[in-house]
Every structure is written in structure tokens, then in C-alpha cells.
Amino acid sequence: MNEVVKAIFERNSCRNFSPAPIGEEQVEILVKAALAAPSAVNRQPWHIIAITNKQLLEEMDQHILDCIKADNEDWYKRMIERGGKIFYNAPCLIVIAKDDSDYAALDAGIVSQNVALAAHSMGLGNVICGMARSAFDGVKGEEFKKRMNFPEGYVFGMSVCVGMAISGKEPHEHDMKKVTYVK
């Protein structure tokens, strides 16, 4: 089996990271993998933001938890039971900001998959994290955008938490009932 297919089959969502930082070279490779993603008409409607600032990650994490608590107490309790961390202590968050063009959301998803597969191929745990969207809600969210140098007119598209996995799990089972072959 070739290495790309093997990475796709073996990759899983990590929700238990070591707080130890990852190397700058590793972050740079993840950024380059993000930029290598294909996009509709090669528009590249994204801006990649690599966050390794622990304080900023912790502030964003807490803001998201506060937003969840204000919106849905049951969901908040579930998150607290799972450790109370949206980013699972990951030392790196790759944020994909996107413009408002027609295919930007799809393209951001492709970027996140590139990052996740690249991270896995480098032996790093990762999880694609849509919940990071809540970090950009309200006045505090605007503050985060400024601190992260979000380009004008861009919004959150997707993100990927990356770091050394403390523990792992098996990849999910393939559900062949979700496949139709037309010959």
C-alpha cells in the first residue's frame, strides 16, 4: 500500500495532546501542506494562521467554553466531562481563515485535510476542529481576530489542532452502507 493511502487509513482524531511544543520546522511543513491544497479555479480563498502562543490558545479555549456555557448548559457539561479543553491542550492550532467566495468553505475543508494528513505523516496527533469557530464570536472574538492578524473580510473557515499525542485510538470503521457503485 502506498504511503498516502496508508496515512489516510491510519489517521485518527486525537483528543489528548502533550502540551510540549512542536518544532518550528514542523509548523512550517504544516503551513506548506496547507498552501499546497487545491482550490476551485485556483482562487486560494484562504489565509493560514499558525498559532503556537500558549496563552492565546488558552484564552481562546476559555472563551469558547464560556460561549458554550451561555448557549447550552448540557453541551457545556459534556465538554467539561471530556476534560474542559476545546483544543485538548494541543500546542499548535492551524486556523484556516476564508473569504466569502462560493467555494471557500469547501476549499477550507480541503486545506484542513491536507494539514491533518501531513501532521499524521510526521507522527503528530491532530484533530480537525470546527468548534474553534466560537472563538471569533462577539467583542472578544474581534479581539482575537486582531491579535491573529485576520485579513480584512475573512472569517473562520476551519482549524486543526496539532501536537504530540499522549494516547491514540483506532481509526473509525468504514461504513460500506454509505457507498453506492454505479457501473
| pLDDT in the model for residue 167 | 79
User: What predicted TM-score, i.e. pTM, was given to this entire model?
Assistant: 0.94
Q: How far, rounded to the nearest angstrom, does the alpha carbon of residue 59 sit from its chain's CA centroid? A: 17
Q: pLDDT tens digits for 111-149? A: 999 999 999 999 999 999 999 999 998 899 999 999 999
Residues 6+ apart with CB under 8 A from 56: 144, 147, 148
Pairing relation of β-strands 125-128 and 155-163?
antiparallel
Query: How many Cα atoms are found within 13 Å in the side-chain-facing hemisphere of 2?
Result: 2
Structural domains in the chain, CATH included, are 14-167 (3.40.109.10)
Q: pLDDT tens digits for 2-25? A: 999 999 999 999 999 999 999 999
Beta strands in 71-130, from DSSP E residues, in sequence order? 92-98, 125-128
| pLDDT in the model for residue 83 | 87
Looking at the predicted structure, is the pLDDT value of residue 171 above 80? no
Beta strands in the chain, from DSSP E residues, in sequence order? 46-51, 92-98, 125-128, 155-163
